[in-house]
A and B are shown apart, each in its own frame.
Chain A
Amino acid sequence: GAGVSQSPSNKVTEKGKDVELRCDPISGHTALYWYRQSLGQGLEFLIYFQGNSAPDKSGLPSDRFSAERTGGSVSTLTIQRTQQEDSAVYLCASSLRGGSNQPQHFGDGTRLSIL
């Protein structure tokens, strides 16, 4: 079956612009996670969805970052007024359900470059 799909795979934009990153989780997976991987920072958690609700937003670095999930499936991560420090690979993962020992499966990420 299909894995986690993320789009676009690469995004280059100018500082100050807004960007939207999309994640299609594995079908039937109710839990969805966003992570960010940047040079020198490693892989860091951003937000967790169970269904359409986000009980853990603790990793979002600023109020310029937001995410939503509709229909318990697709999720969109939005970054407003992008800054150069937002340049990173944004990774999405899904699992059958959150709060359990079901493994998370990752997509290949969106590489975001802010000029």
Chain B
Amino acid sequence: DAKTTQPPSMDCAEGRAANLPCNHSTISGNEYVYWYRQIHSQGPQYIIHGLKNNETNEMASLIITEDRKSSTLILPHATLRDTAVYYCIVRSFGGTSYGKLTFGQGTILTVHP
């Protein structure tokens, strides 16, 4: 699986958009970008995923650059409950991978009043 690089921490003001970057410069053509978050004492929560097109759902938007070497997760109006560790994961399928998730250290997002 391609390696991802994320900033260790970020801050965001409540009500503002939170933009979390991720670098995945070695991503292969058939690998997806997934985002999960983990709030203290809970299991990781799926947010969104994409291959090459931008994606949006009720939680967030995912912007993937045209060369697919980086992406940005956007939380449009951050709330205090969005404070969590956010993981950007490149997920591959086929062969012996079977789609397992490889978690890095993630970005600790702190939303403050």
Interface residues of A, Cβ cutoff 8 Å to B: 4, 31, 33, 35, 42-45, 48, 50, 55-56, 58-59, 91, 93, 95, 98-101, 103-109
Contact = CB atoms under 8 A, between A and B. Distances in A.
Given A42-B104, A101-B93, A103-B49, A91 B43 contact: yes
Nearest to A98: B98
Contacts, number: 63
Interface in B58-113: 87, 91, 93-94, 96, 98-105
B101 A104 contact: yes
Given A100-B93, A101-B49, A101-B93, A107 B98 contact: no
Looking at chain B, what size class is its interface with the partner chain? 20 to 34
8 contacts: A42-B103, A43-B103, A45-B100, A48-B100, A50-B98, A99-B93, A101-B49, A101-B93
Interface of B: 32, 34, 41-46, 49, 51, 87, 91, 93-94, 96, 98-105
The secondary structure that dominates the A interface is strand
Contacts of B96: 55-56, 58
Contact of A108 (B42, B98, B102, B104): B42
B100 A91 contact: no
Given A35-B101, A55-B96, A103-B46, 17 more contacts: A31-B99, A33-B100, A48-B99, A48-B100, A55-B98, A58-B96, A59-B100, A91-B44, A95-B99, A98-B99, A100-B93, A101-B49, A101-B93, A104-B99, A104-B101, A105-B46, A108-B42
